[in-house]
Structures are given as C-alpha cells and as structure tokens.
C-alpha cells in the first residue's frame, strides 16, 4: 500500500463498496416500507368487507388467516389450514382478549409477532382478527439483498480490473517522470525533459522542465566558473612567475659577477614594481567581486574626466586628446573608481595605438544612464580580440601590461550596477563605453547592498 497506484485502487474500491452498501440499505428499507404499507392497505380493505360480519357463513380471503375471539376470550381459527393458522393463534393467545379488543376498537393494522393483523368488533361482541403472513415479503427482501451482494461483488471485481488499468495508464507519466529524475540524479543527461500536456501531471512536468533548465544553466555556469577560476589561477601564476624568475635570474647573475650592481638592482626594482602592480590589481578585482570596495557619493564626472585628460596629456603631450562633456555632470558613484576607469582606458589608448593617434573622452547623459566613453582612431581589434577584451589576463596583440585593465573597468561598472561594452574593428579604432545607472533608487540599492551597516545605523 506504499505506492500511489495501490492507494488509489484501495480508495476507489472502498468508496465504491461503501456507496453500494448504502444503496443496498436504502433500497431495502424503502422496499420494505412500501410492501408493509401495501399490506396495511390490503388488511384495511379486507377488514371493511361485509362478508366478515358473519364469519361462520363466509370464506376467508386468500393469503389471510381469520381468527374469531368469542366474548369469553376463546380464540379459534375459521380460515382453514392454508396458510397455517397455528402461529397466529399462539400470538393471539399471548396478546390476550383485552389487547385484541383495544386493537379492534382502534381499527388500525398492528404487529402480531412476525405478522401483520387488523381486528374489528363483530356481532354479539365477537372480535374478528385478519392476519397477513409476511413470509413472501421477507423472501423478497432476502432475495433483494442477495442479488445486491452478488451484483456488488461483480461490479467491484470488474472495477478492480478496469480501475487498475486506468490508474496505471493515468499514472504512467508520473512513473516516467520518476525514472527520468532518477536517471538525472544518478549522473544522467541534464538535457532530459519530461512530457508536457494540459493535464495536472503535464503542468507538473512543465514546472519540472523549467527547474531542470535552470539546474542545467546553473551547472553549466558552475563548470564555466570553475574553468575560469582554473584559467585565472594559471594565468596569475604565469604572470607572477615571470617577474619572480627575472628577479631570481638577476640575483644569481649579480652573485656570479656577470652583471654590475646598478643594472641588477635596476632590473630587480622594475620587476618588483611590476609584480606589486599585478598583485594590487588582483586584490582590487577580488574586492570588486566581493562588492565591498565602493564608497558612493555625489561626484562631478566632468571634473574627473577633465583631470584624467590633463594627466594623460602630461604623460604624452604629442597625442591629441579631446574632452566632449557638458559643463557639469553629477552622478552618485565612487570617485576613486571612476578615476581608475578613466586612467585605465586612457592607458590602453597609449599602449595599443601609435603616438599621435587622436582620442576622445566623451560623457553623455541618457534617460537611464550616465555614459563614459573613451574612443580612439587607432588600428582597432579583430572580432575575436574584441570578444575577449574584458577577459582577465587577456593581452591584445602587440600590447603589454598585465591584461587586467579592462577587466577592472568591467568589474567597477558591474559593482556600480552598470556595464561596460566595447566596439572595435580593424582600421576603425576602438571605443569603450561604460554605463552607470542614473536612477537614484537603483544607485541607493547599490549603496545599501555595499554598506548594509550604514543603512541599519540610519534606520536606528
């Protein structure tokens, strides 16, 4: 009885059996009441016959027993031997003359043992009792009960066979769903899906399919994330190993006297600085990924962009740099991170375009975002390089650096609730577009998410 199939079958048979028993009881009671009512009417009809006025001269109606009680209380049968009057005589003697006279005075049918009877007062104080045996009624009721039992048993048998087939067919989709779920849980194909239909089971299958789709996506995302983590660890190890190898090499050369102290210390210092920047950038990315590195405040993006252009012009005076921005553009952001975005993008322009290539820093407010864009007229990138531009440790062809500049830009944009995009094609230059949300509610949600303790203090 543990399976749903067995429980449904047992419940179906139990409900059907209870209904049949109730129907048998009701039909038996109704039929008995109807037959007893008819017997009472027949007894009253016989009671009113004039022939019973003189019992000695009459012949008893068929199927009835006629008893005559004298004034002295003596009871005798005057109807013959069919039906047998002995039981009626015995019951009349038990009731006594007084009870029979009271019944006769009432004129209504009454029970005489297992029989029905009616009495009336005749000539010279005699009491005539008409008795109707109920043997045929009892036989009819017994036959009805036996017929109902046999019919119920046959119906239950047929219902058990047919219901078992119907229930198995109706639960077949559930069985297939359970099999598919077990296969998936045992390491099967996550792309397996359930059969959908308009029924309740079909809707359940649809919901499970949605869940399986999300599980599949989550699993694929986890696999990709693990692959990215392994790739990141390998790239980080490689990037850190290079300066360490250089430092170790120059140290050994200095110990062997193959290089003078000034050259060795210069190269060791340069590689140490390179390793320091790489480690700081890795820590920066880790803090941004945790979402705990933002200090949100109202900043003037135009002023920040103006400072970044001035710094880039001081580093590379021969490069034409243009600032295209409104006089003031205030946004809720982390000032240090926005400066870092502008510095990284302008550094990429210097690293990947020839000297003298024009570039522009553009600030554009839209209905939903504050846009920071840095574009150049350089050689551009191929489609494959553009697709991987924001990947960590990805080095564009001919470029140096750690390969984390654009990755940090994308992480900062994401931490602000925005996004970073890149457009580039060979010979058409490169443009990096950073969109920061303009909606104050979105930005405040970022603040609450990054600094929940401040929000709690404000509420208190």
Domain ranges of the chain: 4-138, 200-287, 294-459
| 249 vs 56, residue with greater confidence | 249
Residues 396 and 389 sit within 8 Å (Cβ to Cβ) = yes
Global pTM reads 0.46
Tens of pLDDT along 115-135?
Answer: 999 998 877 778 888 999 998
294-459 matches 200-287 in CATH topology: no
Q: Is residue 73 scored above 50 in pLDDT?
A: yes
Residue 15 has a pLDDT of 92
What's the CA gap between 313 and 10, in Å, rounded? 87
| 219 vs 92, residue with greater confidence | 92
294-459: CATH, from 3.30.565.10, 3.40.50.1000, 3.30.750.24, 3.40.1010.20? 3.30.565.10
Question: CA–CA distance from 143 to each of 27, 31, 37, 59, 151 (Å)?
Answer: 12, 12, 19, 32, 12
Q: Is residue 81 scored above 80 in pLDDT?
A: no
Percent of the chain with pLDDT over 70: 84
Residue 409 has a pLDDT of 87
Name which CATH class applies to 200-287.
mainly alpha
Q: Is residue 455 scored above 70 in pLDDT?
A: no
Can you name the residues that pair with 321 across neighbouring β-strands?
359
Question: CA–CA distance from 287 to each of 57, 247, 415 (Å)?
Answer: 125, 28, 10
Answer left, alpha or beta for residue 73, where phi above 0 means left and psi between -120 and 50 means alpha.
left
| 139 vs 196, residue with greater confidence | 139
Can you name the residues that pair with 373 across neighbouring β-strands?
362, 433
Q: Is residue 391 scored above 80 in pLDDT?
A: no
| Residue 459: pLDDT band with limits 50, 70, 90 | very low
Farthest-apart Cα atoms in the chain, separation: 163
Q: Is residue 347 scored above 80 in pLDDT?
A: yes
Q: Is residue 443 scored above 90 in pLDDT?
A: no
| Residue 239: pLDDT band with limits 50, 70, 90 | low
Helices (H), 257-300: 261-290
| 387 vs 358, residue with greater confidence | 358
Q: Is residue 157 scored above 80 in pLDDT?
A: yes
Segment 313-340 shows an average pLDDT of 88
Helices (H), 332-439: 335-352, 383-387, 405-415
Segment 188-208 shows an average pLDDT of 77
Which of 325-334, 380-389, 412-421 comes out lowest in average pLDDT?
380-389
Residues 302 and 325 sit within 8 Å (Cβ to Cβ) = yes
Phi, then psi, of 93 in degrees rounded to 5 = -65, -35
Residues 392 and 400 sit within 8 Å (Cβ to Cβ) = no
Greatest mean pLDDT among 30-44, 50-64, 194-208, 404-418 lies in 30-44
CATH code 3.90.550 for 4-138 = no
| 334 vs 243, residue with greater confidence | 334
Q: Is residue 3 scored above 70 in pLDDT?
A: yes
Segment 324-340 shows an average pLDDT of 88
Q: 3-class SS at 362?
A: strand
Segment 285-299 shows an average pLDDT of 72
Segment 95-102 shows an average pLDDT of 89
Residue 27 has a pLDDT of 93
Torsion of CA 446, 449, 455, 456, to 10 degrees: 170
DSSP assignment of 28-93: HHHHHHHHHHHHHHHHHHHHT-GGGGSGGG--PPTT-EEEEE-TTS-EEE-S-SSS--HHHHHHHH
Residue 26 has a pLDDT of 94
Mean pLDDT, rounded, of the chain = 81
């Amino acid at each position: 009885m543990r399976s749903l199939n067995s429980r449904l079958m047992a419940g179906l048979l139990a409900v059907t059996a209870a209904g049949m028993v109730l129907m048998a009881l009701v039909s038996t009671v109704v039929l008995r009441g109807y037959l007893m009512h008819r017997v009472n009417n027949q007894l009253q009809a016989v009671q009113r016959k004039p022939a019973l006025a003189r019992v000695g001269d009459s012949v008893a109606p068929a199927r009835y027993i006629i008893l005559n009680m004298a004034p002295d209380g003596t009871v005798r049968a005057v109807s013959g031997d069919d039906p047998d009057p002995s039981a009626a005589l015995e019951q009349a003697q038990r009731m006594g003359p007084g009870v029979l006279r009271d019944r006769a005075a009432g004129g209504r049918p009454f029970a005489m043992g297992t029989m029905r009877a009616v009495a009336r007062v005749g000539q010279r104080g005699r009491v005539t009792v008409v008795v109707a045996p109920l043997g045929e009624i009892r036989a009819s009721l017994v036959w009805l009960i036996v017929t109902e039992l046999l019919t119920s048993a046959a119906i239950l048998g047929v219902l058990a066979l047919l219901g078992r087939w119907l229930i198995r067919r109706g639960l077949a989709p559930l069985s297939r769903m359970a099999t598919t779920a077990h296969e998936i849980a045992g390491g099967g194909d996550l792309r397996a899906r359930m059969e959908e239909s308009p029924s309740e089971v079909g809707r359940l299958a649809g919901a499970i399919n949605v869940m399986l789709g999300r599980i599949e996506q989550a699993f694929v995302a986890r696999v990709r994330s693990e692959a990215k983590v392994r790739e990141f660890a390998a790239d980080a190890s490689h990037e850190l190993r290079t300066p360490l190898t250089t430092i170790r090499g120059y140290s050994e050369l200095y110990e062997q006297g193959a290089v003078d102290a000034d050259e060795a210390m210069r190269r060791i210092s340069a590689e140490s600085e390179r390793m320091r920047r790489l480690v700081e950038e890795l820590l920066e990315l880790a803090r941004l990924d945790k979402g705990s590195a933002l200090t949100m405040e109202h900043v003037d993006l135009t002023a920040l962009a103006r400072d970044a252009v001035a710094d880039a012009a001081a580093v590379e005076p021969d490069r034409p740099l243009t600032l295209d921005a409104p006089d003031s553009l205030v946004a809720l952001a982390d000032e240090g991170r926005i400066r870092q975005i502008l510095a990284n993008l302008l550094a990429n322009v210097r690293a990947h375009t020839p000297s003298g290539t024009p570039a522009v820093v553009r600030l554009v407010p839209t209905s939903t975002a504050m846009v920071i864009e840095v574009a150049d007229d350089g050689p551009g990138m191929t489609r494959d390089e553009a697709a991987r531009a924001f990947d960590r440790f990805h080095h564009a062809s001919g470029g140096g650096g750690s390969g984390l500049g654009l990755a940090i830009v994308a992480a900062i944009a994401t931490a602000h609730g925005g996004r970073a995009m890149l457009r580039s094609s060979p010979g058409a230059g490169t443009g990096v577009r950073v969109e920061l949300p303009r909606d104050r509610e979105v930005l405040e949600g970022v603040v609450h998410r990054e600094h929940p303790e401040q929000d709690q203090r404000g509420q208190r």
